[in-house]
Amino acid sequence: MRRLLPILALLAVLLSLVAGWAIAARMATTTHQRQGLMFPALATLGNEVRSIELLQGDRRVLLERSPDGDWRIANRDDYPADLEQVRSLISGLAQLERDQVLTRKRERHQELNLAWPDPEARARLVRLSTGGESRPVEILLGQERITPRSTYARSLDDDQTWRCRGGVNADVDLQRWMRRDLLSLPPSEILGAEWLGLQMVRRPEAVGDGRNIPPDMFAVAMAPGSPWTPAQANAARTALPEWPTRLEFDDVRAARPDFAPAADRTLTFELKGSRLVVEGRAEGAETWFRLRVEPRPGGSPPTVKPVPGDPWIPDWNAFAAKVKGWEYRMPGWRVSQLERLRSDEPEPRMPDAPDMSRKDRLPPPSSPVP
């Protein structure tokens, strides 16, 4: 019996090694299966995607690719989409990597914002189609984490949920998918402005800093009988010429044949390379406008469009073609500015500063200082 003990001990060691190897192999296989791209099909289908639909609650964005390769917002009359945003969405989905297996129980999907249909409107469904008979790729995106950046996701036809490394810009907001900055001219390009008989003309000696409009950059002239008070005219002198340095919109639609501009929403700007007319009208609580562009020779050469918001000079003929046939919704803060300029108090009155003349005086000491 004593002779068998070493043999049994050796067998026990061998069995332990075999069991450990098997467990390690299975763990390695499981880890390998868990890791990898979440949606590997997008690595090869990315360039073949022809339409992208984003859904969240009652919100919807439909992007379609035109034959020339540009992307359009189909539910905004095929207005051009921001190409960088579309590329970011496709590449972000394709680069999501599985990081952790989560639940596959449907009753727990709501906790991760991955239930569909989703009565709480927190899950985002992204549907990518290549056209033809191919089945679309349908992806649900849920909660996001910043540190480390991660996204909860699953395929619509699979109950298994995952935490994935990476993030995706998939906001179901139409404004995100369009470039809303129409113009961002440097002040040096602005020669004058006109609105309701009030004319602002650039002084010949005026020199700006390339980004801001100094208060004395424009002289003001009022037509006879103009209903402007001196305070209103002075406020408009700097407020109106600033418009072409930041001309934006909140929504867009195809031009309508019955659009009739109103005088109190129509402004004219004289620029070095063109005359720009903002033709607007109020529609309920909103103001919509068109742009009429009249290019003129001798303007400054176009510059490359930089980061949104930075000053740039367009090719005015190309710009005229770009905005033709579209109507834009004026941002609410611009509408408020126009209404304020025509009011009795053009600028909001700042509260009077408190009297601080005696605040720095110390009270008399209660006892002599030794």
What is the per-residue burial (b if ≥16 Cβ within 10 Å, else e) of 156-186? Answer: beeeebbbbbbbbebbbebebbbbbebbbbb
Q: Angle, nearest 10°, between helix axes 332-341 and 230-239? A: 150
Do 185 and 146 contact (CB within 8 A), yes or no?
A: no
Query: Tokens in use for 366?
Result: 């209660």
Go through 121-155 and write b for each residue having 16 or more CB atoms within 10 A of its CB, e for each that does not.
eebbbbebbbeeeeebbbbbbbeeeeeeebbbbbe
Residue-by-residue DSSP string for 107-131: GGGGGGT--SS-TTS--EEEEEE-S
- More confident of the two residues 209 and 333: 333
163-185 pLDDT per residue, tens: 999 999 899 999 999 989 899 99
- Comparing C-alpha atoms, which of 237, 241, 265 is closest to residue 191? 241
366 pLDDT more than 80 = no
Q: Alpha carbon of 134 to those of 4, 38, 47, 131, 244: distances in Å?
A: 67, 20, 15, 6, 46
The verdict on pTM exceeding 0.75 is yes
Rama region for 32: left / alpha / beta (φ>0; ψ in -120 to 50; rest): alpha
Chain segment 143-154, per-residue pLDDT in tens: 998 888 999 999
- Which residue, 290, 236, 296, is CA-closest to 266? 290
Model confidence at 275, pLDDT cuts 50, 70, 90, reads very high
CA distance 105 to 154: 12
Cβ atoms within 10 Å of 59's Cβ, excluding its own: 13
Instruction: Tell me the one-letter amino acid at 203.
Output: R
Give the residues across from 193 on adjacent strands.
200, 269
pLDDT in tens, 12-28: 555 565 455 544 444 44
Which candidate, 144, 36, 52, places its Cα nearest to that of 89? 52
Q: Which one has a higher pLDDT value, 151 or 6?
A: 151
pLDDT mean over 234-239: 90
Residue 46: pLDDT band with limits 50, 70, 90 = confident
Question: Using one digit for the tens of pLDDT, what is the confidence trace for 301-317?
Answer: 999 766 766 899 999 99
**pLDDT at 146 (0 to 100):** 86
pLDDT at position 349, please?
A: 53
Paired strand residues for 63? 52, 73
Peptide bond into 257 cis (omega under 30): no
CA torsion, ordered 13, 18, 21, 22, to nearest 10 deg = -140
Predicted pLDDT at 131: 82
Sorted by sequence, the CB contacts under 8 Å of residue 208 that are 6+ apart come out as 187, 188, 214, 217
Least confident of 117-131, 204-218, 261-275: 204-218
pLDDT at 347 (0 to 100): 52
Better-predicted residue by pLDDT, 343 or 245: 245
For residue 367, name the pLDDT band (cuts at 50, 70, 90).
very low
| Longest Cα–Cα distance in the chain | 125
